Structure 1
Amino acid sequence: MASIKLLLSSRLARMVIPRTNENKLLTRLQVNGINRVSTAGICHKDNMDPVVKSLKPKPFPYKEKRYRSYMYLLPGGSTVARFDENTVIVSIEGLPGSGKTKFAKKFAEATDMYHQPKANFDFYYIRPDGFDLRRFNPIFFEEAQYPDIDLFLEKPKHPKIGRMQCEMYRLKYFFYIEAMAHLFNTGQGIVTERTPWSDQVFMDALVKCGFTNKDHERFYARMRHNSQVKLWRPHLVIYIDTPIETAMKNIKKRNNPREVNSPVWKSDFLKCIDESYKNKIIPEYDEHAYVLVYPYKDELDVNAILSDIEKMDFWPCLSNEKLYDWRISDDGEVSEWRVTFTNEIETLMAKCNLPSWDCEGYDYSPEAEQIQMQSERSLATPYWPGFDPDRYSMWELAFKRENKYWADRAMNLFPAYSP
């Protein structure tokens, strides 16, 4: 039955490994005569193997250069050779006001991992020239406004709130792809705050509280199902279990006027998020990753938590689905996935581009699109930075422009990056 389940899963085609290879898979990979770990464990940076750290190749500059599939055969090009004990993805989860950001930064510092910034709408709406499209909101009619978290806190029943949550999912999806690219090209582990999988708790809460409709929920579900095919789930999820009253108290402490006066917190919004986490998302995480739940404290002891984590075994096993995304058979296989997450970002992001004709209120009306386009063209800079023909010659545009590979890729993915 287990083998049938493997074969039927579209995500597991690359993971159907002959039983004879299990011993090879579950032992340390040999690279240049040195034992390398694929995903063995997580430890404090002071406890990491100094020999492995000293022999790791330099991080590949993936934001400036393209990584080719044959490069793993070149000296210093191996992907697996970059891996160490902490080449993992750790997601910090919890309610708003649970102290995720503070804890994530401390955890990343203690383990020498990269703290992935939270997905936010600044990336979506602030153009590279510094112009913020949301500056138009006060003068636009409601249907044409650009939705973000601040608009949601002020007007939770705004007609574009469902669209806002779908776009937030796209942002988290993009940021997670970037995290995967960083891990494969540098070998540095990732500490992230929430993932595309846990974003579901907010859509559930929006629907239950009546802030959006079922059409948006169905469209969101299709986008989520279609886009998560190739993403690799995190190794470890740390959930900070925070009482709703404590979360509310911490939100008020931040003293953000939009949060303090928001009608959102007067509803059951936090309660719905908490229920969705505990009844749906945490059980789903537990099928594929290791989950640790800690009660909320003002100062969570990172060293004590790391002591718990160091006792855990993070080796993938073919007998169950734990960490099956991270079953690495050889350097060539993982290097192909490195190419996917580094170079094929448009292809991955295109999985979020689904027809929305049956989702009432998701698309902008022709009148709204027209006023947006006219306003942006009249007030915003018409050229992507570095492409202005009034400032650069054709020679400079063709050959001397600064190489911003990752930013150029993002230019085609989000409205704020479209000239």
Structure 2
Amino acid sequence: MCEYKKPSHRHGEHRLGDDQQFWPSTEIFRYIQRRQNGHHVGYYPRRLMSQFVARQLPGLLSEKEYALGDINKIFASHWASDRQVAFGTKCNKLIVMDLVSKQMVQIPSLQNSGQSSPADCPCGIHSIAVNFSRSLLATGGENTNDLAVYRLPTFDPVCLGEQGHSDWLFDIKWLDDEFVVTGSRDSKMALWCIKDDKDSDASTTSVSHIPMRSPDYGYDIVTPLTVKSCKKAEKVRALGYNHNNHEIAALSLNAYVHFWDAKHFIQKCSRKLTYPRENVCMAVCPDKGLYAVGSQSHVTLLDSRAPKHVGCIVSKQRGCGIRSINFNHDMLTIGTGAATIYFYDMIAGKYLELNCGHPCSLTAGKGWLLHDETYQDFFVDQEYPNAIYTHCFDNSGTKLFAAGGPLPAGLWGNYAGLWQ
């Protein structure tokens, strides 16, 4: 059996100091065990996750797969609490799932006022973002070119943003607790100001008791502060925000990354990517000032201060595409179109490995696939692993939610799993 191999440190590589090794392995397992048993954990979770733990954890994770019914492809997800995850689907549903009880609640989509036109051929929810104080959640509305904002933890509607985009809303990033940026398939970026006068702590209503909203609205209709075209961009696909230098990065499908000054909402420059195919996801490591872009077979590392890319990581599964990407401390997690998550150690400069030399990876379960006429006519008797369209760690960094569905556009299906 393959066992996890501890990363070796070559000359010049980062080593953990005594202060970083505060949590020995026995304390780590005690923390996880107490949490799983429902006991109060007095530790501050972030303190637990030293660089040592981030490297050791992937080899210890096991999957718990969830049955989701007949929803189609999960494109976006975000932790709403320590046991709840919110996710958005291709069939335009916003769902909150309790990972312990497995209860799922569909949150009502926010309808527009009729003052804006819906996008052609709607394609679901592609982004979910939570502000810094974790009081507001932003995602797509009933029209896929509108911005819907909900109050946490109750998911009461706050407002619907209209007249910002004419095509699908692809990504959302909060700049602080009030200002949020959206990027769209219409090649434009919009800046919004979201005001919520109600105290989110005043209500203790459970998410399972959310009433359906009527068309006469129980929320405000807002418009963007400004909308600007992203120069040289053909469809803004993903956004990143570095809060250390107040910089926004916008990834476009024509293989450019565009850097913006967030304070003045002005485009500064654009960088052409070396690998032009299927650049669809991006992650930010603010402490290092790095942006990671996932393409068909590579991860490109960028720094806006450098004229060219500063590094490149070859995918372990070339050709199937990198569909989601995230940083967990100095660990880069890579979700592929072939149901696998890999872990790349940014300090060691290589993929995490098992003792046998194979890469440390997580392989998603089978999920659910609809055997409709399209499947029978074009895909029958073939295997289609689930693309990992989204994955995210919880605040402690010890639980990983991953989700997606079949990669071919014509197939209807879903996958969701918790790795812990």
Length-normalised TM-score, structure 2:
0.25
Q: Higher Cα Rg: structure 1 or 2?
A: 1
Task: Judging by fraction of residues, say which structure has more strand.
Answer: 2
Length-normalised TM-score, structure 1:
0.25
Compare relative contact order (CA 8 Å, sep 6+) and give the higher one, 1 or 2.
Answer: 1
